[in-house]
Amino acid sequence: VDTDGDTDLNLTEYIADTDPRDSNDFFRVYAINNNTAGRHVVIKSSAQRMYDLERSVTPLGEWLAIEGQTDLPGTGAVMLLHDTNAPSQWNCYRARVRLP
């Protein structure tokens, strides 16, 4: 069931700790920023959840966990997930959320 019509099922929203009655509240990557220290993936986190950052060459390719960016406890605020060893070519990123 998708109570708020945001395409995330209520179960998915429970896992992400978002409000299944608010179509503006769902888990997503807000931005990917490049700078001299690497790439930073911006997400809104929950202090009750854990987060992982993964990289792939293509959206359908093999997803690899980024060293040091797994099992990260949420802060309850915006979090920056870091890929400090990002290859020079552009990659796809995904942030994953799960129950602790």
| Phi, psi of 73, rounded to the nearest 5 degrees | -70, 140
**In angstroms, how far apart are the furthest CA atoms of the chain?**
43
What integer best gives the mean pLDDT of the chain? Answer: 94
pLDDT at 90 over 80: no
**Which pTM value belongs to this model?**
0.91
pLDDT, position 91 = 84
Long-range contacts of 34-40 (CB under 8 A, 24+ apart): 37/82, 37/84, 38/82, 38/83, 38/84, 38/85, 38/86, 39/82, 39/83, 39/86, 39/91, 39/93, 40/80, 40/81, 40/82, 40/83
pLDDT, position 13 = 97
34-68: pLDDT as tens digits? 887 889 999 999 999 999 999 998 999 899 999 99
pLDDT, position 38 = 86
